[in-house]
Amino acid sequence: MAEFLHFSRDTKMYLVKDNRAWTIPVLDGFSFSQATNASEITLNEMEDASGRSRRGRKMFTDSLSAAEWSFSTYTRPFRAAGGTTYSADKGGRAGSAANASHAVEEALWVCMGSKNVYNSTSYAWNHGATGGAITSIATTSGGTDAGRSAGTYTIAVPGTNVTIASNGSNVAASAVISVVVNGSGVATSTITDRGIGFNTGSTLTIAPAAIGGGSANLVLTVTSESFSSDSTDLDINFFDSNRSSLSTFDLYFVLSDKSAGRLVYKLANAVVNEAAVDFDIDGIATINWSGFAGQITDFTASVTAQASPPTASAAGEIWIDTDDSDSFFVSEGTGTSNWVHTIDEGTASTTNFIRNRLTQLSLAPDATFKANNSAVTYETSYQVAITAGNITISNNISYLTPEELGRVNQPIEHVTGTRTVTGSFTCYLGSSDAATNKSKNLFEDLVQDTETVINEFELKFDVGGTASTPRLEFQIDRCHLEIPSHSIDDVISLETNFHGLGSSIGEADEITLKYVGS
């Protein structure tokens, strides 16, 4: 009987959700584990008449902790070839639209910031049955009505004077729209509260009585999406992450890939807790992912590994094609013809890695904050060339586990905590006799501003540069900066911590991401 050893360098990882699989190459150092919670009972008594004192103890396994996992991936944007072929040519396409920007790791971002489901018909991510938050609104009709009175009007959705149409089976809740009408009766609409329960294509018809009279209804069309890919870029937001739980998925780690002794571990009901990006000046742009799962199981016996398609008895089964370099398939139905190849486009490319050295930082005070600040005259922008930096996005997730006696309790569900966007950047202490927007000036302005308890800066990391491809942009529109700290080395530097904030304490628009493929 053969005995096998398993090596981390022979490992492949797959993310499976909604009967689709994504190949996500991971770096050395990945881990997954699950601990137990135990109780100890001890005896501690004085001697009896015979001089005997019992000092024993007993252990009880109370519950399994939530499984914990972590791994790192490179940031790898690319442009899709297009088409919908998944199994015929044994190549998993990222999307049906040719030349659209995608990323190898995009599924992790979508699951981290929403409850999206994957639509196998449109080959795209969509909101589930509960709908999503409003991403943007556009005026469809009624933008101008000379009979309107000028003013600013706050519109609650749903409301007495608002009709929601084309919203599927969802029920929109708690959105707020601000409509500004100028002296010519032109209405300009902005989102105050993105709400939840909307679909792309939903329409909001606002009656004249709610916006200063006149005769024309104002009709707004809603876009609601956490993931948008086109020929320009791939946009990812967290607008729909104001939920008590987020998207779950299964992770499969195939150990000893392409070997008869392979092991397959399944991490069921996994969820992304944190994504951290470090800008190492001499490295390749990398994301460090970590999260939880309900349970780790040895799934080897449940995986079919053979050269021809097996007969699937249900959707969601796994087949490893041993005749095609252990290609990974998921069934979307029964029989032998419903196997779908893992989505692996971009994983074999050598041109979609990003060099950190090309990263640029844009830093400017928010225009309104700058105009209203009387304590310090902030510069329009600051010229800061960074030497290092990092961003961490965290869902601060915890797991609910029952505490029934007489059994080993299992984790049942995750619960989101406070969403945080934090980070820091390091730069040399620079000054100039010809400019007043260097790092020295940033330090001075922040120190001197003793009247502002929350400052607001617009911060953007262009990982890979501002114009070259591939690249990844992190945009934080409202960023609170801490006072920089000095580091006294051969070249004196400043380290500045920052905190991404929403447009209000209830909004989830602290950060947006933009991938541009090459």
The tens digit of pLDDT for each residue in 142-159 reads: 999 999 999 999 999 988
- DSSP string computed for 404-438: -TTS-B---EEE----EEEEEEEEE----SS-S-S
> Which amino acid is present at 94?
A
Residue 88 confidence (pLDDT): 42
pLDDT of 406 > 70? The answer is: yes
Mean predicted lDDT score pLDDT of the chain = 92
- Contact at 8 Å (CB) between 153 and 211? yes
CA-CA distance, 286 to 284, in Å (whole number)? 6
Name beta bridge partners: 187. 181
Q: Is 151 exposed, middle or buried (0-12, 13-18, 19+ CB in 10 A)?
A: exposed
List of residues 6+ apart from 480 with CB closer than 8 A: 454, 455, 456, 457, 498, 499, 501
Domains in the chain with CATH codes: 9-33+67-125+239-341 (2.30.110), 136-224 (no CATH), 356-516 (2.30.110)
The first and second tokens of residue 332, run together, are 């979307």
The tens digit of pLDDT for each residue in 371-386 reads: 999 889 999 999 999 9
Find out whether the peptide bond into 470 is cis, omega within 30 degrees of 0. Answer: yes
Dihedral angle sign, alpha carbons of residues 471, 476, 477, 482: negative
Chain centroid to CA 238: 7
The tens digit of pLDDT for each residue in 228-256 reads: 999 999 999 999 999 999 999 999 999 98
First to last CA, the chain: 50
Task: Indicate the range of 38-52, 84-98, 246-260 predicted with least confidence.
Answer: 84-98
CA-CA distance, 322 to 325, in Å (whole number)? 6
CA-CA distance, 423 to 338, in Å (whole number)? 45
What are the angstrom distances between the C-alpha of 19 and each of 22, 75, 117, 439, 505? Answer: 10, 24, 10, 50, 36
The first and second tokens of residue 167, run together, are 């919203």
Find out whether the peptide bond into 310 is cis, omega within 30 degrees of 0. Answer: no
The tens digit of pLDDT for each residue in 311-362 reads: 999 999 999 999 888 899 999 899 998 899 999 999 999 999 999 999 999 9
Residue 169 confidence (pLDDT): 62
Confidence of residue 425 (pLDDT cuts 50, 70, 90): very high
Dihedral angle sign, alpha carbons of residues 112, 115, 119, 122: negative
Confidence of residue 90 (pLDDT cuts 50, 70, 90): very low
CA-CA distance, 33 to 293, in Å (whole number)? 10
Phi, psi of 407 (to 5 degrees): -155, 160
pLDDT of 89 > 50? The answer is: no
Stretch 404-422: mean pLDDT: 94
